Amino acid sequence: MKRLWFLSFLLSAALVCSSCGSDEPENPQPTPEQPENPGGADHPDPTDPTPGENGRYLVVFASRSGNTERVAQTIRATLGCDMLEVEPSEPYEEDYNATLERAQTELDGIAEGNFPAIRTVVEDFSKYDIVFVGFPIWYNRIATPMQTFLHRHADKLAGKRMALFATSGGSGISQSASDARTLCPDAQFTENLLLTSASGGQADARIAQWLERLGASREETPEAPAGTLSLKMTVGGQTITATMEDNAAARDLMSSLPLEVTLTDYNRTEKIFYPDPALDTEGVTRGCAPVPGDITIYAPWGNVAIFYKEWPQSGSLIKIGHIDGNGIDVLGAYSGDVHVRIENNE
């Protein structure tokens, strides 16, 4: 019955999905016969992603039947970004039942700390604003090659903004998202995207809407006009920029750079630190209703406050800048304190 169901699924998926709407069967595919413990010495050489014209994003994916790969290709075509396939050391069998058996064996091995061998290793993720991670869902879990990849690269992905996308015959993504957070506990996870056989015909539109919500686009961040004050912050291996106001307080902050500070979470709304000495606010216009990304000074206390949520109008706030693009999401993803380096963006 499983074989008949699978053949029926493939036929219906091929008819419904034109480019990337079909999804991998929720019942998995094979497992390396001898799972490898990533702590061992058998590590492949680093793999170079296929480059795109927009180097801000990386799409990394695992796919056996090609469904997840079609989604990855759509994301790459939309963003013009780099892409890399995670490949098992031992290719999966064509026989579906053998695939199911191997997948279950691999999942059992992972539960005991033994991850199947893969051929894909990335040296550095630092240049990427977002890493898109795609996989089929096998028995409600992340496909095993991708689990190995995330496990091996957890340290390099710490602080990195990650967006999960998955294909499935009908299973949800919640358990897989939990797997990813366990495998990469220090990464910053965004909204997930799940494409099932039922949503195949709407796949392209859903991918485009998802990327828009994430703030991901083909265009590079425009350079600030000449003479504009601009700073950059390094947060957990990621770099975000901010355009500063042309006022005395902003110029005073810029003159004190570079700074190494710890931003403390305040009121679950803003990240704050106290410059030493206090910034010059004499004669600077006060009063603003901060929106996410605004960099301000709270005049009574003298602290710098970077808002990641909206706040009502306050006559005690002085706006001195705004974080560019969706960079505030990087800071807002940290629920507690976070260490940052602030420098001139030259």
Q: What is the pLDDT of residue 17?
A: 40
- 197 lies in a domain? yes
Question: Where is the domain boundary, 156, 182, 214?
Answer: 214
Q: How confident is the model at residue 38 (pLDDT cuts 50, 70, 90)?
A: very low
Work out whether the CA dihedral 155, 161, 167, 172 comes out positive or negative.
positive
Query: Is a pLDDT exceeding 50 seen at residue 335?
Result: yes
Q: How many alpha carbons fall within 13 Å on the CB side of residue 99?
A: 22
Tell me: do 109 and 52 sit in the same domain.
yes
Tell me: do 274 and 307 sit in the same domain.
yes
Tell me: do 193 and 309 sit in the same domain.
no
Strands 141-142 and 130-138 turn out to be antiparallel
Q: What is the pLDDT of residue 44?
A: 58
- How many domains does the chain divide into? 2
Averaged pLDDT for residues 62-79: 93
- 8 lies in a domain? no
Q: How far apart are CA 32 and CA 144, in angstroms?
A: 9
Query: Is a pLDDT exceeding 50 seen at residue 30?
Result: no
- 1 lies in a domain? no
Query: Bridge partners of 133?
Result: 60, 164
Q: What is the pLDDT of residue 31?
A: 32
Averaged pLDDT for residues 236-250: 90
Q: How far apart are CA 21 and CA 185, in angstroms?
A: 30
- 220 lies in a domain? no
Instruction: Name the residue among 38, 42, 13, 39 with its Cα closest to residue 25.
Output: 13
DSSP type of residue 2: H
- 159 lies in a domain? yes
Tell me: do 24 and 136 sit in the same domain.
yes
- 302 lies in a domain? yes
Instruction: Name the residue among 330, 323, 128 with its Cα closest to residue 243.
Output: 323
- The H helix count followed by the E strand count for the chain is 8, 15
Q: How confident is the model at residue 80 (pLDDT cuts 50, 70, 90)?
A: very high
Query: Is a pLDDT exceeding 60 seen at residue 225?
Result: no
Q: What is the pLDDT of residue 111?
A: 94
Question: Where is the domain boundary, 150, 179, 214?
Answer: 214
Q: How confident is the model at residue 126 (pLDDT cuts 50, 70, 90)?
A: confident
The mean pLDDT value of the chain amounts to 83
Percent of the chain with pLDDT over 70: 84
Tokens of 335: 């629920």
Tell me: do 200 and 260 sit in the same domain.
no
Q: What is the pLDDT of residue 22?
A: 35
Query: Is a pLDDT exceeding 80 seen at residue 260?
Result: yes
Tell me: do 156 and 244 sit in the same domain.
no
Q: What is the pLDDT of residue 48?
A: 87
Q: How confident is the model at residue 36 (pLDDT cuts 50, 70, 90)?
A: very low
We report the CATH number of the domain holding residue 98 as: 3.40.50.360
Residue 263, classified by CB atoms within 10 Å of its CB into exposed (0-12), middle (13-18) or buried (19+), is: buried
Q: How far apart are CA 281 and CA 296, in angstroms?
A: 11
Q: How confident is the model at residue 282 (pLDDT cuts 50, 70, 90)?
A: confident
Tell me: do 247 and 203 sit in the same domain.
no
3-state secondary structure 218-235: CCCCCCCCCCCCEEEEEE
Query: Is a pLDDT exceeding 70 seen at residue 223?
Result: no
- 6 lies in a domain? no
Q: How confident is the model at residue 127 (pLDDT cuts 50, 70, 90)?
A: confident
Tell me: do 26 and 146 sit in the same domain.
yes
Averaged pLDDT for residues 71-83: 94
Q: Is there a contact between 305 and 266 (Cβ–Cβ < 8 Å)?
A: yes
- Among 6-10, 69-73, 200-204, 336-340, the range scoring the smallest mean pLDDT is 6-10
Q: How confident is the model at residue 55 (pLDDT cuts 50, 70, 90)?
A: confident
Tell me: do 172 and 309 sit in the same domain.
no
- 39 lies in a domain? yes
pLDDT higher at 77 or 226: 77
Tell me: do 180 and 279 sit in the same domain.
no
Instruction: Name the residue among 67, 115, 112, 65 with its Cα closest to residue 92.
Output: 65
Averaged pLDDT for residues 280-285: 88
We report the CATH number of the domain holding residue 322 as: 2.40.100.20
DSSP type of residue 216: -
Tell me: do 22 and 82 sit in the same domain.
yes
Alpha helices, DSSP H only, in the chain? 2-16, 67-79, 96-111, 144-152, 174-183, 203-214, 248-255, 328-332
Q: How confident is the model at residue 342 (pLDDT cuts 50, 70, 90)?
A: very high
Residue the block writes with tokens 């929720």 = 26
Tell me: do 252 and 322 sit in the same domain.
yes
Q: What is the pLDDT of residue 26?
A: 45
In which domain, by residue range, is 256 found? 230-344
State the DSSP string of 107-172: HHHHHTT-BPPBS---S--TT-SEEEEEEEEETTEE-HHHHHHHHHTTTTTTT-EEEEEEEESS--
Q: How confident is the model at residue 234 (pLDDT cuts 50, 70, 90)?
A: very high
Q: How confident is the model at residue 53 (pLDDT cuts 50, 70, 90)?
A: confident
Q: How confident is the model at residue 159 (pLDDT cuts 50, 70, 90)?
A: confident
Question: Where is the domain boundary, 214, 248, 273?
Answer: 214
